[in-house]
Amino acid sequence: MADEMSTASMRVLWLRPTTGKNISVGRERIAEHLERRGVTVDVRDATGWDAVDAARAAFVGRYDAIVGTARAGLYVGYPLAVLGRLGFVADIADPIDQIRDLPDLLFRTFNWYELSVLRRTSQRAAVYESTRNRLAAHGLSTTPVENGVDFDKFADPEASVVRQTESILTEAGVDVDKPIAMYVGGLSTTYYLFDILGASERCSDWQFVFLGEGPLAEMLRDANNELENVFYLGSFDYDLIPGFLSHASAGLCLVGIEQPLKVLEYGAAGLPTIGMHGGLSDRFSEDQLLFVDPSPESVATSLDDLRTDPSLAKKYGENLREEAKLHSWADIADIYYELLEASLS
């Protein structure tokens, strides 16, 4: 390991779970800001067979440090860092409950291995308070980090992006002059998409637009064909998402974690956002999100409230936008810069 190396000339391999090309792009945003400081960052997937390519890259890429994002990136990255005598930063971006639905023996095995890795590395970044508390109970300190947002990109998207996304929406049959409830992200049961679809059958005045990829994509394609106010457009490059959100009237995020990326993006876009009680209500206030129980009835009621009361929609959109202003990827990248620097000492 090059102890005397300037961080600004460092080459970093950042390993993350394989989630899809346009899903969980937060680590790429951090990498972009690190690169502006002169750090070369190679972000690679590490789940399943992708781990083979990650290992090959680690051995031939002449890297100086590895960042391993939980779960797969952490599990694969640490032994590669040990074998290559590289600096290592553990990045716990999601709580362990993310894999709680695994068979008990498998879950306990992963939990044991994760704790073993974290005990052997001193540079640990943790996004969620529940993770920090869990590790503190095992005597492990962490550096708090948060998710961020490219505020200006979402608050004032490029005119060409707005026009391009309007064309995509219009060609799909969406009327951009009528209310649009938009969901952006992974397509899994974690996000209560069945309940959102149930709400669509109770809200004929709203159009429901889904952007993303995941195991429920086929179900959404079927809904797109069967329900006249449901539109599944597929997955799009990150740079187009601000344009799509500029056409939306509300954001949807039903998930039991504290700070998913999409909420701050909705906020920067000025969208009133419907969230669910639980993790989100630990992080955001009743004045920033409209909290519901994850049911078709409660989602439909909140959407009707937003449609019939423009002042309510404006208040929630402005409040969440003010919160989004406080969370910059550049500031978060500064924390990782310091952790990388410490990993080389």
| pLDDT bracket for residue 125 (50, 70, 90) | very high
Distance separating alpha carbons of residues 328 and 285, to the nearest angstrom? 19
Put simply, whether the predicted model's pTM sits higher than 0.85 gets the answer: yes
Rounded to an integer, the average pLDDT of 103-124 is 96
Q: By the 8 A CB rule, do 241 and 160 touch?
A: no
Question: pLDDT of 127-163, one tens digit each?
Answer: 988 899 999 999 999 999 988 999 999 999 999 999 9
Secondary structure, 3-state, the chain: CCCCCCHHHCEEEEEECCCCCCCCCHHHHHHHHHHHCCCEEEEEECCCCHHHHHHHHHHHCCCCEEEEECCHHHHHHHHHHHHHCCEEEEEECCCHHHHCCCCHHHHHHHHHHHHHHHHCCCCEEECCHHHHHHHHCCCCCCEECCCCECHHHHHCCCHHHHHHHHHHHHHCCCCCCCCEEEEECCCCHHHCHHHHHHHHCCCCCCEEEEECCCCCHHHHHHHHHHCCCEEEEECCCHHHHHHHHHCCCEEEECCCCCCCHHHHHHHHCCCCEEEECCHHHHHCCCCCCEEECCCHHHHHHHHHHHHHCHHHHHHHHHHHHHHHCCCEHHHHHHHHHHHHHHHCC
Rounded to an integer, the average pLDDT of 24-29 is 80
Rounded to an integer, the average pLDDT of 179-187 is 95
CATH code for the part of the protein at 7-148+328-343: 3.40.50.2000
CATH topology match: 7-148+328-343 vs 151-324: yes
Q: By the 8 A CB rule, do 335 and 145 touch?
A: yes
pLDDT at 5: 47
Q: Is the pLDDT of residue 30 over 60?
A: yes
Distance separating alpha carbons of residues 191 and 1, to the nearest angstrom? 42
Distance separating alpha carbons of residues 165 and 180, to the nearest angstrom? 14
pLDDT at 277: 87
Question: What average pLDDT does the structure give for the chain?
Answer: 93
Question: pLDDT of 228-262, one tens digit each?
Answer: 999 999 999 999 999 999 999 999 999 887 778 89
| Rg of the chain on CA atoms, in Å | 21
pLDDT at 279: 78
Question: pLDDT of 213-227, one tens digit each?
Answer: 999 999 999 999 999
pLDDT at 7: 53
pLDDT at 129: 87
pLDDT at 26: 82
pLDDT at 123: 97
Cα 107 off chain centre by = 23
The residue ranges of every structural domain in the chain are 7-148+328-343, 151-324
CATH topology for 151-324 is Rossmann fold (3.40.50)
| pLDDT bracket for residue 8 (50, 70, 90) | low
Q: Is the pLDDT of residue 3 over 60?
A: no
